[in-house]
Amino acid sequence: MSTTVEHSEELVAAIELELSALFRRSRSASLRLARRVHPEMDAAGYALISQIELGAGTGVRASDVAHVLGLDKSTVSRGITQLENLGLIERIGDPDDGRARLLRLTTSGAERYEAMRTQRQTEFRAILDRWNPTDLADLGRLLGRLNTDLG
């Protein structure tokens, strides 16, 4: 095997190792962030509420949340029920389709989510403030490229 191919394989292996570590940390962080929103919310609830929050005010369909997260409808339905029982989200009528229901954060859910997000951004900013602007730009560009290629 040529030296270039061996070096390329070593680089890919190193990247895979770092991504695996990042994904493990991400799963753990999701649970911590969920508990900041509500002590009884789990990591799956955090993923759901994050997607529902994107529909801020107007609401989102459960099927759209399931599609974006790559989850089946029954999994999303159970999570939505939990978030409703915790008082974090509510179902509202869809103004475009009287038969459909949309999901949106309750006032309490929005306040709790925003408090968690503000704290998370402060912590993240403290870490990234140590990076130089060129590295930050490179990271953003390369993560965007990786997400596009993975999608």
Return d(Cα 43, Cα 125) in angstroms, integer: 22
- Specify whether the CB–CB gap between 45 and 30 falls below 8 A: no
Which pLDDT score, from 0 to 100, does residue 2 have?
A: 66
Q: Does the pLDDT at position 1 exceed 70? A: no
Q: Which residues of 23-42 are buried (b: 16+ CB within 10 A; e: fewer)?
A: eeeeeeebeebbbbbbeebe
What is the mean pLDDT of the segment spanning 28-52?
A: 92
- Using a 10 angstrom Cβ sphere, with 0-12 exposed, 13-18 middle and 19 or more buried, the burial of residue 76 is buried
- Count of CB atoms within 10 A of residue 103's CB? 23
pLDDT tens per residue across span 91-144: 999 888 878 899 999 999 999 999 999 999 999 999 999 999 999 999 999 999
Q: What is the pTM of this model?
A: 0.79
Longest Cα pair distance anywhere in the chain, in angstroms?
Answer: 64
Integer Cα distance of 105 and 84 in angstroms: 9
Residue 5: the pLDDT is: 75
Predicted confidence (pLDDT) per residue in 45-94, tens digit: 999 999 999 887 789 999 999 999 999 999 999 999 999 999 999 999 98
Q: Angle at Cα 83 formed by Cα 34 and Cα 97, nearest 5°?
A: 130
